[in-house]
Amino acid sequence: MRLLVKLSPEAAYTTLPVHYNHLLQGCLYHCLGDDAQFYHDLGYKYQKRMFKLFSFSRLLGRSTYDRYTETLRFTGGLSLVVTSPDIRFCSSLATGLLRTGALHIGSEPLDIDSIFCSQDVVEGDQIVVRLLSPVVVYSTMTRYDGRKYTCFFAPGEPDFERLISENLKRKYEAFTGISRTEPDSVRVKPLSEPRLAILKYRDTVIKGYVCRLRLEGPNHLLQMAVDAGVGAKNSQGFGCVEVEDGFVKRNCSERVEYVP
């Protein structure tokens, strides 16, 4: 399920730190109300791993970057996309957003103009997506002296495709409880030059990439990619995707508009 939240600043412009993911994530958890503890502390379990199973985009709108202060100045209206396969999550978030009427990201208030809820149903075994927030794919490795380090992978590298596929299978099993024995895999091909995005989540440096991707594979895994996001750290604001026209079924009669 997909929520498109339309926002408007109370002032002429909105200034935010460029590394605002944790601030925006905190706003979303706050709007979940009584459900926040489950999604923040628990989520859905796969073996020893927990998946929150939601993702969100960067703030979408016109902005300029000030490299001296490391801030973004937004002018005009903004949009935010939040996706999840969990209807309970989307319903709780939409209700909380309407109840609060605004998002306070740091010290900047943004009024909520409207919320549109829709469901993109994947048809077939191929989709083309555009990344609305950087996709993060990594593996933790050990140096010769025993110290651990993180290796990030870019679209087009063999480990990138393998880890994307394995991650989607784990998310599917965590959410549905269904363990599929067939050797499912998703093939991933970048359709544009990947652009490196280096961001911080609190004190952690994260390397992600933004581009268009073609995903080919089992329908149930492609649906999970659309709903839960691709790659890792989705609930921190990474890997949110938008499917290009022609690859999903969009039934306008199922779309609900929430206006405060």
Count the neighbouring beta carbons within 10 Å of the beta carbon of residue 91. Answer: 14
DSSP letter at 253 equals G
In angstroms, the CA 31 to CA 130 distance is: 27
| 133-186 pLDDT tens trace | 999 999 988 887 878 889 999 999 989 999 999 999 999 999 998 887 666 799
User: Strand, helix or coil at 8?
Assistant: strand
Asked if residues 152 and 207 have their Cβ atoms less than 8 Å apart, the reply is: yes
Residue ranges of the chain with per-residue pLDDT less than 70: 181-183, 250-260
pLDDT of residue 251: 56
Radius of gyration of the chain (CA): 18
Name the nearest CA neighbour of 224 among 131, 86, 50, 115: 86
In angstroms, the CA 220 to CA 122 distance is: 8
In this structure, the dihedral spanned by the alpha carbons of residues 247, 211, 170 and 58, taken in order and rounded to 10 degrees, is -100
In angstroms, the CA 16 to CA 79 distance is: 15
CATH of domain 2-120+250-258: 3.30.70.1890
pLDDT of residue 260: 52
Name the nearest CA neighbour of 39 among 104, 114, 90, 99: 90
Q: H helices of 32-182, where?
A: 36-37, 87-100, 158-176
Query: What are the φ and ψ backbone dihedral angles of 247, each rounded to 5 degrees?
Result: -115, -5
pLDDT of residue 255: 46
pLDDT of residue 253: 38
Find all residues with CB under 8 Å of 205, minimum gap 6, and list them: 198, 199
In angstroms, the CA 86 to CA 119 distance is: 11
69's tokens: 């202060």
Q: Where are the beta strands (DSSP E) in 86-211?
A: 102-105, 108-118, 121-122, 126-131, 138-142, 148-152, 187-190, 195-201, 204-210
Name the nearest CA neighbour of 138 among 159, 156, 169, 165: 159
Topology agreement, domain 2-120+250-258 and domain 121-246: yes
pLDDT of residue 257: 52
79's tokens: 């949009």
Domain boundaries, the chain: 2-120+250-258, 121-246
- Decide yes or no: CATH 1.10.579.10 for domain 121-246: no
